[in-house]
Amino acid sequence: RKEVEQDPGPFNVPEGATVAFNCTYSNSASQSFFWYRQDCRKEPKLLMSVYSSGNEDGRFTAQLNRASQYISLLIRDSKLSDSATYLCVVNPRSGSARQLTFGSGTQLTVLP
Amino acid sequence: ETGVTQSPTHLIKTRGQQVTLRCSSQSGHNTVSWYQQALGQGPQFIFQYYREEENGRGNFPPRFSGLQFPNYSSELNVNALELDDSALYLCASSSARGGSTDTQYFGPGTRLTVL
């Protein structure tokens, strides 16, 4: 079983749609959680951290359910520029070695 | 831009050769992590360097080795290259404070092709 699992997609949605991505992780001791965005042939970039209470950044909302070991990302009012691969990322342990564990990514294409 | 730079951008090698990839961290950052990203996969953690010492290692064989220099830049060395080593190699820069590190910022990567 992979440490971080995501639906690979692809998700093809029209502009203005709301789309949700889900992710599960296997290590219950995981300490911190993130969503990164990766454009084609580019490096991953931090989209947002995910907090236990849930957090929102503009059109993006992230949720964490520690009991179910489940993370989600909701994108409202999708834009063409949101087209990218979204990577669910977990730091499996505390301490100074922040070893990020990535899912395989979910590909999103927003269509005009 | 993150301020993290990597060189070279692209590299083609043949099986059995050795390769050295370089990374300059963002100003003020003292920690560098290296990741391997195969096509269609998420990045996989190779190792991390903090204050010139290896500070955590993923599931990679010893032929993957690294260095960190006093200016916090870093090298990744891979010996006896195999076809499966073909991937995008990413370095990520961060700052370790008080026993934990904050956000990792990725460089643009080096795309390695092994023939």
CA distances A43 to B36, B100, B106, Å, are 12, 23, 6
Rg of chain B taking only CA atoms, in angstroms: 13
Report the C-alpha dihedral over residues B96, B98, B100, B105, rounded to 10 degrees. -30
For A7-25, the pLDDT digits (tens) are 888 999 999 999 999 999 9
Query: Assign residue B70 a region: left if phi > 0, alpha if psi is -120 to 50, beta otherwise?
Result: alpha
- A95–B99 C-beta distance less than 8 A: yes
Q: Is A64 exposed, middle or buried (0-12, 13-18, 19+ CB in 10 A)?
A: buried
User: What secondary structure does DSSP assign to A12-80, as a single string?
Assistant: EEETT--EEEEEEES-TT--EEEEEEE-TTS-EEEEEEE-TT-EEETTEEEEEETTTTEEEEEE-S--G
* Helix (H) / strand (E) containing B45: strand B44-50
Q: pLDDT band at residue A93, thresholds of 50, 70 and 90?
A: low
CA distances B67 to B21, B33, B71, Å, are 10, 11, 11
- Mean pLDDT throughout A49-71? 93
What span, in angstroms and rounded, lies between the C-alpha atoms of B74 and B48?
10
CA of A78, closest CA in chain B: separation in Å?
23
Question: Nearest Cα to A88, choosing from A30, A40, A13?
Answer: A30
Q: Does B48 touch chain A (CB under 8 A)?
A: yes
Residue A4: CB atoms within 10 A of its CB come to: 24
CA of B1, closest CA in chain A: separation in Å?
10
CA of B4, closest CA in chain A: separation in Å?
11
Q: Does B90 touch chain A (CB under 8 A)?
A: yes
Instruction: Kindly state the tokens that stand for B31.
Output: 């920690």
- Cβ neighbours of residue B71 closer than 8 Å, sequence gap 6 or more: none
User: What secondary structure does DSSP assign to B19-33, as a single string?
Assistant: EEEEEEPPTT--EEE
Torsion over CA: A95, A99, A100, A104 (sign): negative
CA of B106, closest CA in chain A: separation in Å?
6
- Res B99: pLDDT: 46
- Mean pLDDT throughout A99-104? 90
Of the partner residues A43, A98, A101, the one whose CB lies closest to the CB of residue B90? A43
Q: β-strand A106-111 against A11-14: which pairing, if any?
A: parallel
The residue of A43, A46, A85, A90 whose CB has the most chain B CBs within 10 angstroms, and thus the best one to mutate to test that interface, is A43
Q: β-strand A84-91 against A101-102: which pairing, if any?
A: antiparallel
The residue of B41, B94, B104 whose CB has the most chain A CBs within 10 angstroms, and thus the best one to mutate to test that interface, is B104
Q: Averaging pLDDT over each range in A91-95, B9-13, B54-58, which range is the top one? A: B9-13
- B42–A103 C-beta distance less than 8 A: yes
Q: Say whether pLDDT at A103 is over 90.
A: yes
- Res B55: pLDDT: 86
